């Protein structure tokens, strides 16, 4: 069992500092970073006195330091997707304003390891922010053990959810390409967890919008790249060599749209003169693509801030019915269309 000295060693502070922070000593002044490091070490090491101290805390709930875990929806590397990292960063910054801290960060794949899952459950978190839908058994387990769960775009009904309109962003992208004169429009995307791409809202909206506009959906121009940029490039190249390319691609994430841009560049195909490309998310690097990527902006910073505020309200006593908060998206016109 971990000791207070183990926590102090991991957090690189003295045992006395750990004790004061865990006892919520109001006279002891420390930085938010030090406090977060201590709580993170406590959670990762499973240091049990944290639970006991939390029960004995007497200040008002709004004054109590609380700990939150985050479940990232990353498919390649825990911290490699700028879309989800932007949300995570905003969550951390906003929670700090409400006396909260992110003390554990995991992916769904990591939770397949029973030791990692047990450590998460034993950490006695005050809340969890989920950035992807989970299989029902795992969700039910987390929901039964963690007091407050806020979802970001998960669709799970018993919890609060902060979302953007998947159906609307795809319609905006396809309609914009249509207005620019494109009639042969392909799609690049992937599934979500165990859900195949065919069931994903962005893809369903792409098909519905194409049908509404009277446009043909050619299967050979629908590229399921499984959110892998190398596979995306390979599929674009194969499509070019076998059946030819559409006049435009809707990449349902900026990372995949930028992978398509790289593939087209290597093939010597001019963008947007020969093939136009529009993305979705407006990650920071999209403006530096060649050419700069036209995209649909998803307000990742606001999603993180909103999720953190909802979490703080729940921890501090909000018992109203679960909320569904839908944030708007906007078209960002650049040079790839």
Question: For residue range 221-276, what is the model confidence (pLDDT) as tens digits?
Answer: 999 999 999 999 999 999 999 999 999 999 999 999 999 999 999 999 999 999 99
Domains and CATH numbers, the chain: 1-37 (no CATH), 166-298 (3.40.50.2300)
Percentage of the chain surpassing pLDDT 90? Answer: 69
Percentage of the chain surpassing pLDDT 70? Answer: 90
At 52 the pLDDT is 38
Q: What is the pLDDT of residues 91-111, one digit of tens each?
A: 999 999 999 999 999 998 898
**Whole-prediction pTM:** 0.77
Cα–Cα distance measured from residue 224 to residue 210, given in angstroms and rounded to the nearest whole number: 18
What letter would DSSP give residue 57? -
Q: What is the mean pLDDT of the chain?
A: 89
Buried b (16+ CB within 10 A) or exposed e, 307-322: bbbbbbbbbbeeeeee
At 41 the pLDDT is 76
DSSP 1-45: ---HHHHHHHHTS-HHHHHHHHTT-TT----HHHHHHHHHHHHHH
Q: What is the pLDDT of residues 118-153, one digit of tens each?
A: 999 999 999 999 998 888 899 999 999 999 999 998
């Amino acid at each position: 069992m971990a000791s207070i000295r183990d926590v102090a060693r991991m957090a690189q502070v003295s045992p006395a500092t750990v004790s004061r922070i865990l006892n919520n000593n109001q006279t002891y002044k420390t930085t938010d970073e030090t406090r977060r490091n201590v709580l993170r070490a406590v959670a990762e090491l499973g240091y049990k006195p944290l639970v006991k101290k939390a029960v004995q805390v007497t200040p008002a709930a709004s004054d109590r330091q609380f700990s939150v875990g985050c479940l990232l929806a990353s498919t390649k590397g825990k911290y490699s997707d700028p879309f989800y990292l932007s949300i995570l960063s905003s969550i951390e910054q906003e929670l700090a304003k409400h006396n909260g801290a992110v003390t554990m960060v995991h992916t769904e794949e990591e939770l397949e390891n029973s030791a990692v899952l047990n450590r998460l459950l034993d950490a006695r978190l005050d809340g969890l922010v989920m950035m992807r839908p989970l299989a029902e058994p795992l969700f039910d387990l987390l929901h039964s053990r963690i007091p407050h769960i806020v979802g970001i775009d998960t669709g799970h009904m018993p919890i609060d959810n902060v979302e953007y309109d998947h159906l609307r962003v795809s319609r905006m992208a396809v309609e914009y390409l249509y207005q620019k004169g494109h009639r042969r429009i392909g799609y690049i995307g992937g599934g979500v967890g165990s859900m195949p791409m065919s069931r994903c809202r962005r893809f369903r909206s792409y098909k519905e919008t194409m049908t509404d506009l009277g446009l043909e959906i050619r299967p050979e121009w629908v590229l399921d790249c499984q959110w892998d940029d190398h596979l995306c490039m390979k599929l674009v190249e194969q499509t070019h060599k076998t059946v030819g390319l559409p006049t435009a691609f809707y990449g349902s994430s900026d990372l995949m749209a930028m992978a398509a841009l790289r593939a087209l560049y290597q093939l010597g195909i001019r963008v947007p003169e020969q093939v136009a490309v529009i993305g979705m998310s407006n990650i920071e690097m999209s403006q530096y693509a060649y050419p700069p990527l036209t995209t649909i902006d998803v307000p990742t910073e606001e999603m993180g801030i909103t999720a953190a505020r909802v979490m703080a309200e729940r921890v501090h006593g909000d018992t109203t019915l679960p909320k569904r908060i839908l944030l708007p998206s906007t078209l960002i016109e650049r040079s790839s269309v």
